[in-house]
Amino acid sequence: MNEEKVEVYTFQFVNKTNNQKIKFEGEFLDDIFKVFSRRFNNYIDTFPPNKIKNQTVKIEKDTDLNSQWKFSSQTKRIKGILVLGKDSDKVLNFTRVDKDKTSEGKKERGINIDKPYYFEIIFSENKTRGFLILQKTDNTSCKRVMVKLIQSQINEIYEKINFKVERFIEKQIFENYLKEGRYNEITFIRNYIPNDLLQDYLGDYQEDGKFSLSTKIKAEEDTDFATKIKNKIFESFEEKRTFFAIPELEEVGFNQNDSYIKVSSTYNGKTRTIDLSDTMKVKPLYPIGDVKRNEDGFAEFESLGEKVSELLLELDIDIL
């Protein structure tokens, strides 16, 4: 079992003539959903590599050669596995994982290395924005290619429509965990301890190099942290600060310039770790928990779909 993450974006169809956002309703919604649910998979499979820098794209098939592609006319939701191939311009060597690190040949130029990416396209009925869910595979994203594919498909059907994508950051989910959740632990971290402070900790055992300082406070036996400190941490999040002044911590080397806070919190039975230094970057990235693996070691299609549905319910964005 391995934890997966997905990127969440919103998208809009915009009229090029008057720059007006188009609402997903009536005949337009029926037409656009029919295009993407019944034609987009074939469009991906036949998309020329030379239009995306010699990358290859196709919809994954399972061991029975069934396409990993599903859609629901009721929820206007499409999901699938995009297989994205890269590195055709590189020669890559392969090494067996054994004590001798045995060479196992190499990939020549002109051959891509495939990675699968789960995705969902959701048209929100009677609204001007839909949702695009994209799996991060091995910490890589397929966003740029997927946006290119969608825009290209639109251009073939609608001459005067642009496809615009924005990051989706749900503040409420952070507020739930930081203000209302039960804290399991708080970790205070400082990077790059100066030599004089390192001397206080290590004395004569100090060595040259770079060191960080970490202090973890863990709640035991269903104990929770005080509301006061939860509010301070949430205020730091709202004000895009990674730390806040605590005199006792400043005395032992933490400060607002070089330090940050991590919180492990449980809300509605789910536990998340929120890193204030990471949320400051405002990534549209959401962990979805552990998923089952297929025989190739990648996340299973159905397992990913279940976890994404749980995330969408948690985000409470009224699309399911």
Q: Is the dihedral of CA 188, 190, 196, 200 positive or negative?
A: positive
DSSP string computed for 247-286: HHHHTTT--TTTEEEEEEEEETTEEEEEEHHHHTT---EE
Count other Cβ atoms within 10 Å, centred on residue 259. 24
Count other Cβ atoms within 10 Å, centred on residue 99. 6
What is the pLDDT at residue 205? 65
DSSP string computed for 278-318: HHTT---EEEEEEE-B-TTSSBPHHHHHHHHHHHHHHHT-S
For 15-57, the pLDDT digits (tens) are 999 999 999 999 999 999 999 999 999 999 999 999 999 999 9
For 267-280, the pLDDT digits (tens) are 888 788 888 887 54
For 172-204, the pLDDT digits (tens) are 778 888 889 999 999 988 877 777 777 777 776
Q: Is the dihedral of CA 104, 109, 110, 113 positive or negative?
A: positive
What is the pLDDT at residue 284? 77
| Amino acid in the structure at residue 124 | S
Alpha helices in the chain (DSSP H): 26-38, 40-45, 143-157, 171-175, 195-202, 227-238, 247-250, 276-279, 301-315
Cα first-last separation, the chain: 26
Does an H or E element contain 2, and which? Answer: strand 2-15
In which residue ranges of the chain is pLDDT below 50? Answer: 1, 280-282, 320
Specify the pTM.
0.71
Q: Whole-angstrom Cα distance, residue 271 to residue 184?
A: 9
